A and B are shown apart, each in its own frame.
Chain A
C-alpha cells in the first residue's frame, strides 16, 4: 500500500444531480402524499414528459465512474477525489461538422499521490467502464491530469494507445483487478 492515509471526501458532499422535484400536484409532499385522492380507477396517468430528451452530460459520466473502487482502498474514486466533476468534458468530436453525432468524452484523473504506480490501472478501469456504458458514438479519452503524477506522460501514452490498451485487456490478472474495481459500480 503506497498511500495508507489519503484524504476522503464525505459522500454527502459529492456532486449529485438535483432532480426536479416531483411535479407538484394539488398536494406536494410530506404527509399529504400519504392519503390518496379518491381516484377513479378508469383514469390513467399522463405521460406528457415522454418526449423530452435528456442528453448525456458531464454529471452522467461522473455518476458512471465515481463508484468504481480504488484498487488499494475500500473507497470509491469519487470519495478519494481521483475523479471529479470539473475534470470531465464532453465535446463534439468533429466541431466542423455540426450534424455529426460523434462526441468525445475526456476524463482527467488525479492520483492520490504523484508516484502512484496504480495510476495506469485506475485509468484503464475508468476507460473500460465508459466503453461498456456509453453508446458507440462516443470517443473516450482518459488521461492523468497535468502535474499530478511524476510519470504522467508515460501513463498517458499507455492509456491513449489503442493497441496497448487492447493488449492490457487481454491480460487475465489485470482484468481481474479491473473487474474487482467495477464490482461496486451502481
Chain B
C-alpha cells in the first residue's frame, strides 16, 4: 500500500498520523526516493474522483505537498524539478501563490541560464511560458519583479528555437505590464536582435525561418507605444544602412509600429518619418523600398485620420501633410523631370488614405497644378500635369467609390466638386480642342474624364452625356491615326461608362451609331464594320444588349425581305455582332433568352429552310458563311435554354421547324446544293443538344446505322462544297462521339473498317478526311479499337500513291486538333487520356518506320521504288500530332523524338514549310520549358544548332526554301538555347557543380553565322538575329553564372 493510499485512509480520524505520512513523503522526495511527478500522478486518480469528499482529501494531501513545492523551488536548478513544476502548474489546484513562488524561484536561481544546454533553457522558457498563459494575473501582480526577472532570464539567448518562445513571452509582458519605468530596458532586450540575420541550416528539422523570427521580433518592437522614443529613431538610423535587406526589415518594422502605436505617438514622429523616408521615394534605388516607404507614409495618414470628421488646418494630420504637399508641389513645377513621378506616387498613396487626407491634399495641390497648366509651354508638360490629376481622381474613386459601388457612403463632401467645371472644361479642351494627332495627350485627357465620370455623385448626367458625345464624335467622325489608340481607348471608355450609366449610352450613343448603319451594303463603304464593332463592345450590359438586339434584328429582317439586299458581308457582320456580344454574356442567366431563342433559332431556321427550297426573296440565307455564323448563334442560344426547348430542337434538327415543302437532308435523293447546305445549321443545332435528347433525333431512335451510313456516303462523294463537307464530317463525328451508345459502337467501327480496307491504293482527299473525322470521334472517347484505328491510319502513310500518303499525313493534325463543334463545351466525349494514348501509340511506330526507310535508303540493295514520299509523310504526320498536344507529354519521349525532329528540319523544300514551322514551335517550347540540359542529355546539341543555323539562311535561287517566318522561328530557338542554359528547376540541395556549358563548342560558329543573318532582307529576321546574337554573346560562357 503506498503512502498515498494510507494517507487517504487515515486522514479522516487521525490528523497526526496523516501529517506524519505527508512529511515522510516529503522526505522521500527530498532524498530522491520518489519524484514529485510520481506523487502527483498517483494523486491524479483521487483529484479527479467524482466523490467530492474523496477529492477534498486528495487536495489536502497536495496542500501538504505545497511545502514541497516551496522547498523544491529552491532546488529548481534540477532539470527534473522544472519538469515537475511544469506538470504541477497545470493542475487545477496550483494556486496563485504557488505560481508566484515558482516564478520567483525561476528568476532567482537561473543567473547562469545561458551557460546551460539549449534543451535545458528551452524547458525553463517553456515553464515560464506556461505560467504566463495560465497564471498571468499572478505574474502581472509581481510587477517589476517579473518584468526584470524575465529580461534577466533571456538576456544573451541566441538559439532561434528559444528565441521564438522568448519573443512571445516578452510580447505579453510588453503589452500587459506597466512598462513605463523600464521601457528602454525592455526595448533593448529585443532590439538587440535587430536585424535578424539568421539563416536556417539546410534540412532544418525545426522549420523555423528567418521570416518567423522577424515577425515575432516585429511584434515585440511594436508592442508598446512607450518604445516609440527608442524604436523610431533607431529604426530610422537603420535606413542609412547599405544593405537593402536591413532597410527592408526596418521599414516593415516601422509600418508595424505605425499601425500599432496610438495616433498621438505616431503624430509626434510623423514629420521625422517623412523627412527620412522621402529620400527612399524620391531617389528610389530599389522599388520595394520605395513601395514600403509609401506604405509607411500612407499608414501614418490613416492613423492620423482616425476619428477625424471636420477638416481643419490645426489637425495633426494637416501638420503632417503640410511639408509633404509642399515638397510635391515643388517637384511638380517641372512635371516632366524624373522626380515628378515619385511626387505623384506620394500624392497617390497619401490621398487615398482617407477622406480627410484627400480633402487636405486636394485643397493645397490642385490649384497650383492648374496654374502651371495655364502657363505650360508645351503639350508634353500639360500631359504630365493631367497625369497627376488623374492620380488624384483615382484616389477619389478609392475614397468616395464609383456609381456602382454599394454602401460605404462618405459623409464628407468631395473636395473635387469645387473644381468640377474647371476639370470639365480643361479635359474637354484637351480631348477635343487640341490637334487631332496629339494622341497620347488626348488619351490622357480621356482617361481622366472617365475617372471623373465613374466617380460617385460627382458629375451630373448631362455632364457625362457631353463626354459621351465627345467619344461618339471621335469614333464616328475622326479619321484613324496611326495605331488607332485613340479610338480603341474611346471604345473601352464607352464600355466602362455603360456599366455605370447605361441609359446615357442607350440615349446618346445608340441613336447616333445606328443612324450611320446603311440599309444594305452596296459595296462602296464598309464603315459599318467599325460601327458594329463599337456597338458590340459597349453592349454587354443587359439593358443595352436588349436594345442592340432589337435594332440589329430589325435591320436584318428588313434585309431578308429585300429583292436586292447587296453584299452578304453586311448581314453576316450583323449576325457576328450579335454572336460576339452573346459570347461575352452569360446567356443562361438572361431573362430574355427565350425571346432571343424564338426569334433566332425558330424564326431564322425556318427562313433558312424556306430559302433552301427557293421560296425566299433573296439568297442571303443560302450563303455558307452566313449559315456558319447563324449556326454558331443558334448553337449558343440552344445551349442556354431549357431541356423542353432542346427536345423541340432535337425533333426539328433536320426539318428546321419548317412546315412547307422543305426536304430534310438525310436519305433525300437528288437534293440541290442549297438544300444540302442546311446541314451546316443542323450540325450546330445537334452540337448544342444535351446527350439526353439523343433518342429524339430523327432517324436515330432505334438504330443509328442507317443515318451514319447515309452521312458517310455523302462525305465520301467528292461533290459537296467545302463548308457543307466540313459540316457533314462534323455531323458524323458528333453522332459517333456524343450520341452513339457504347453498345452500338461496333456500327461505327465497321464503317471505319469498310472505308479503310478497300482494295484500291489511292484514296480521294474527301475519303481520307472522312476516315480521319470518324477516327477522331472514336479516338477522343477512347473506343476499344483505338489502337487498331491508329495503326490503320499509319498504314495509309506508306501507300504507294504519293497523294494518298501526303493527304493522310496532313490528316493527323485533325485527329487531336481542337474543333469548335466537337468540343467539350458542346458536350463531346473527350477523355482526359485520349491525347496521351494517341501519342504513345503513334510515336514508336513512326520512329521505327522512319528507321526502316532510312536503312532501306542507305542500303541501296532494295530497288529504289517510288517511296521518297514516305519519310516526309511520316514526319508531317508527326508534326500534326505534336502541334496538338502539350509538351509535358512530349518530354518523356524526347530521346526517340529528337532525331525525328532533326530530320524534319532537314527537309528543305517548300512543301515542308508547315512541318518545319511546327517542328520549330515544338523545339522552342521544349527548350523554353526544360532548358538545354534535356537536349544535351540526348546528345544532340551540335546537330540541333547546325540545323537551326541552316534554317536561318536566306538564299533565294538555291532551291532551299526558308521563308521569313521559319528564319525567325529558328532564330528564336537559338535565342532560347542561350537564355535557358541553367536547368529550370534544380533541387535546392543538389547543387550542380559548375560545368562547362554544352553550347560553348558552338559559340564561335553561331556568332559567325548570325553575323551574316544580321543583313537579312527582312526586318523581323534581323531583329530576331540581334536578340539571339546578343544572348549568345552575353550568356554562353565557360562557367555558368553564379546567382547572387
Quick one: which of B440, B914, B1019 contacts A54, CB cutoff 8 A?
Answer: B1019
Are B1019 and A31 in contact (CB-based, < 8 A)? Answer: no
Residues of B close to A185: CB separation below 8 A: 1030
Nearest CB of B to A71, in Å: 14
Which residue of B338, B529, B1017 contacts A32 across the interface (Cβ within 8 Å)?
B529
Within 8 A of A (CB), among B570-592: 573, 576-577, 579-580
- Give the segment of B391-399, B402-410, B622-630 that binds chain A: B622-630
Residues from chain A with Cβ under 8 Å of B722 in the complex: 38, 40
CA distance in complex: A29, B532 (Å): 12
Assess whether A96 is interfacial by the CB under 8 Å rule. Answer: no
Query: What does the 1/0 interface line of A44-60 toward B look like (CB < 8 Å)?
Result: 10010011011010001
Residues of B near A10 (CB, < 8 A) are: 380, 383-384, 440
Taking a contact as CB atoms under 8 Å apart, the answer to whether A35 and B336 are in contact is no
Nearest chain B CB to A123 CB, angstrom units: 19
B248 at the interface (CB under 8 A from A): no
Contact of A133 among B380, B573, B769, B1026 (CB under 8 A): B1026
- B1022 at interface, CB cutoff 8 A: yes
CA distance A9 to B440 in the complex (A): 12
Closest-CB distance, B442 to chain A (whole angstroms): 11
A75 to B341, CA, bound (A): 12
A171 at interface, CB cutoff 8 A = no
Are B963 and A50 in contact, CB atoms less than 8 angstroms apart?
A: yes
Q: Which of A5, A40, A179 has the most CB of B within 10 A?
A: A5
> Of B445-453, B856-864, B1008-1016, which stretch is located at the interface?
B1008-1016
Q: Contact between B383 and A7 (Cβ–Cβ < 8 Å)?
A: no
A8-B338, A75-B338 known; A32 and B576 CB under 8 Å?
A: yes
CA distance in complex: A37, B813 (Å): 18
State whether A27 and B529 are in contact (beta carbons under 8 Å apart), knowing that A54-B1018, A179-B1034 are contacts in the complex: yes
The proximity string for A residues 10-35 relative to B, scoring 1 for CB distances below 8 Å and 0 otherwise, is 10110000110000001111111011
Asked whether, in the complex, the Cβ of B283 is within 8 Å of the Cβ of A31, the reply is no
Q: Does A95 contact B (CB under 8 A)?
A: no
Instruction: Tell me the minimal C-beta distance from B1014 to chain A in angstroms.
Output: 4
**A28 to B1034 Cα, complex, angstroms:** 41
Q: A5 to B340, alpha carbons, bound, how many Å?
A: 9
Q: Which residues of B contact A29 (CB under 8 A)?
A: 533
A73 interface residue per 8 A CB criterion: yes
Chain B residues with CB under 8 A of A5: 334, 337-339
Beta-carbon contact of B1015 and A32 below 8 Å = no
CB of B874 closer than 8 Å to a CB of A: no
B576 pairs with A35, CB closer than 8 A: yes
Binds B, one of A84-92, A114-122, A134-142, A161-169: A134-142
B519-535 vs A: 1/0 string, CB under 8 Å?
00000000001101100
Assess whether A13 is in contact with B1011, with CB atoms less than 8 Å apart: no
Q: Does A97 contact B (CB under 8 A)?
A: no
What residues of A have a CB within 8 angstroms of the CB of B1014 in the complex? 133-135
CB pair A30–B1029 under 8 Å, yes or no, is: no
Contact residues in B for A28 (Cβ distance below 8 Å):
529
The chain B residue sitting closest to A186, CB to CB, is B1027
A160 contacts chain B at the CB level, 8 A cutoff:
no
CB pair B1012 A135 closer than 8 Å: yes
Question: Inside 8 A of A12's CB, which chain B residues have their CB?
Answer: 440, 443
Residues A137 and B625 in contact, CB atoms below 8 Å apart: no
Q: How far is the CA of A31 from the CA of B581 in the complex (A)?
A: 9
Name A64's closest neighbour in chain B (CB-CB).
B1026
- Residues of chain A at interface, number, CB under 8 A: 48
| Residue of B334, B624, B726, B1026 with most chain A CB atoms under a 10 A cut-off | B1026
Whole-angstrom CA separation of A36 from B819 in the bound complex: 12
Please indicate the chain A residues that have their CB under 8 angstroms from the CB of B956 in the complex.
Answer: 51
Within 8 A of B (CB), among A70-117: 73, 75
Q: How far is the CB of A133 from chain B (nearest CB, A)?
A: 4
Check B533 against A18 for contact (C-beta < 8 Å).
no
Question: Closest chain B residue to A44 by CB distance?
Answer: B914
The answer for the CA separation of A28 and B769 in the assembled complex, in Å, is 31
Contact with A along B326-346 (1 / 0, CB 8 A): 000000001011110100000
Task: State whether the Cβ of B208 lies closer than 8 Å to any Cβ in chain A.
Answer: no
Judge if B569 is at the interface, Cβ distance under 8 Å.
yes
Complex: A4 Cα to B285 Cα, angstroms: 12
Could you say which of B533, B723, B1026 contacts A30, with CB atoms under 8 Å apart?
A: B533
Pick from A9, A13, A31: contact of B577, CB under 8 Å: A31
Q: Complex Cα distance A51/B196, Å?
A: 64
A42 within 8 A of B: yes
Contacts of B769 in A (CB 8 A): 41
Q: For the complex, what is the distance from the CA of A10 to the CA of B765, rounded to whole Å?
A: 56
Number of B residues whose C-beta is below 8 Å from A? 59
B639 within 8 Å of A (CB atoms): no
Evaluate contact between B1019 and A41: CB separation under 8 angstroms.
no
Q: Is the CB of B1019 within 8 A of A42?
A: no
Of A7, A31, A35, chain B has the most CB atoms within 10 Å of the CB of A31
Residue contact B1029 to A32, C-beta cutoff 8 Å: no
Beyond A31-B533, A75-B338, A135-B1012, whether A38 also contacts B723 by CB under 8 A is yes
Q: 0/1 per residue, B616-653, Cβ < 8 Å to A?
A: 00000000110011001000000000000000000000
Is B580 touching A38 in the complex (CB atoms < 8 A)? no
Give A3 to B21 CA distance when docked, in angstroms: 90
A31 adjacent to B1017 (CB under 8 Å): no
Residues of A within 8 A of B814 (CB): 41
Chain B residues near A8: list those with CB within 8 A.
Answer: 336-338, 341
**B202 cross-chain contacts in A, Cβ below 8 A:** none
Interface string of B592-612 (1 = CB under 8 A from A): 000000000000000000000
Q: Tell whether A6 pairs with B337 under 8 Å between CB atoms, given A18-B482, A38-B723, A185-B1030.
A: yes
- Determine the distance from Cα of A152 to Cα of B612 in the docked complex, in whole angstroms: 81
A40–B1034 Cα gap in the complex (Å)?
Answer: 45
Residues in A neighbouring B624, C-beta threshold 8 A = 38
CA distance A97 to B380 in the complex (A): 45
Interface contact A137-B1015, CB-CB below 8 Å:
yes
Task: Name the CB-closest residue of A to B807.
Answer: A42
A54 and B1017 form a contact (CB under 8 A): yes
Which chain B residues border A40 with CB–CB below 8 Å? 722, 726
Q: Which residues of A contact B810 (CB under 8 A)?
A: 41-42
Q: Give the residue name and chain of the B residue nearest to A8 (CB).
A: B338
Q: Which residues of A contact B1015 (CB under 8 A)?
A: 135, 137
Measured between beta carbons, the chain B residues less than 8 angstroms from A41 are 769, 810, 813-814
The smallest C-beta distance from A63 to any residue of chain B, in angstroms, reads: 8
Chain A residues closer than 8 Å to B337, beta-carbon distance = 5-8
For residue B537, CB closer than 8 A to chain A, the reply is: yes
Closest residue of B by beta carbon distance from A3? B338
Q: Quick check: B1011 and A35 within 8 Å, CB to CB?
A: no
Asked if B199 is an interface residue, CB under 8 A from chain A, the answer is: no
- Closest-CB distance, B922 to chain A (whole angstroms): 19
Shortest CB distance A97–B (Å): 18
Q: Give 24 CB contacts A-B under 8 Å.
A: A5-B334, A5-B339, A6-B337, A7-B337, A27-B529, A27-B569, A27-B573, A30-B529, A30-B533, A31-B532, A31-B577, A31-B580, A32-B529, A34-B580, A35-B579, A37-B628, A40-B722, A41-B814, A50-B964, A53-B1018, A132-B1033, A136-B1011, A179-B1034, A182-B1034
Interface residues of A (CB under 8 A from B): 1, 4-10, 12-13, 18-19, 26-32, 34-38, 40-42, 44, 47, 50-51, 53-54, 56, 60, 64, 73, 75, 132-137, 179, 182, 185-186
Closest 5 CB pairs of A and B: A135-B1015, A30-B533, A53-B1017, A31-B580, A135-B1014
Chain B residues near A (Cβ < 8 Å): 283, 334, 336-339, 341, 380, 383-384, 440, 443, 482-483, 529-530, 532-533, 536-537, 569, 573, 576-577, 579-580, 624-625, 628-629, 632, 722-723, 726, 765, 769, 810, 813-814, 820, 913-914, 956, 963-964, 1011-1012, 1014-1015, 1017-1019, 1022, 1026-1027, 1029-1030, 1033-1034
